[in-house]
Amino acid sequence: MDQEKLIELAWLARENAYAPYSHFKVGACVALKDGNYVQGCNIENAAYGSTMCAERNAVFGAYCKGYRKEDIVALAIVADCTPIASPCGACRQVLSELVALDMPIFLANKEKAEKHTIGELLPMVFIGESL
């Protein structure tokens, strides 16, 4: 998996964001074990609860194509802000179930990129095994 390519594809996905209310555009990209990538961007809605974040769009897109947790090898999330944006609580919960807890998640802005995992971003995770 090429970290630079993954982040670059997330920046390209960000260009498709629909953010007429917040003007906060986010891009994401999932790298898959077979060498493919799935991009996502945030899509806002006047009914704010109907808004979908970039990282969920990317991961859900991978699942819609038949990929599963074991197929996803990395995720990049980019936004043009300081400090670096990180996933919201809803996204952290979704990611904790749909990707491996130790999978690399790259958070980036125009100046730098940081490597994290969902296990770090969401300690004491609540997943299916918790039920």
**Burial of 54: CB neighbours in 10 Å, binned 0-12, 13-18, 19+:** buried
- Enumerate residues 6+ apart whose C-beta is below 8 A from 52: 42, 43
Given a contact cutoff of 8 angstroms between Cβ atoms, the answer to whether 42 and 109 are in contact is: no
What are 38's two structure tokens?
């799935």
31 SS3 class: strand
| Catalytic annotation, residues | 55
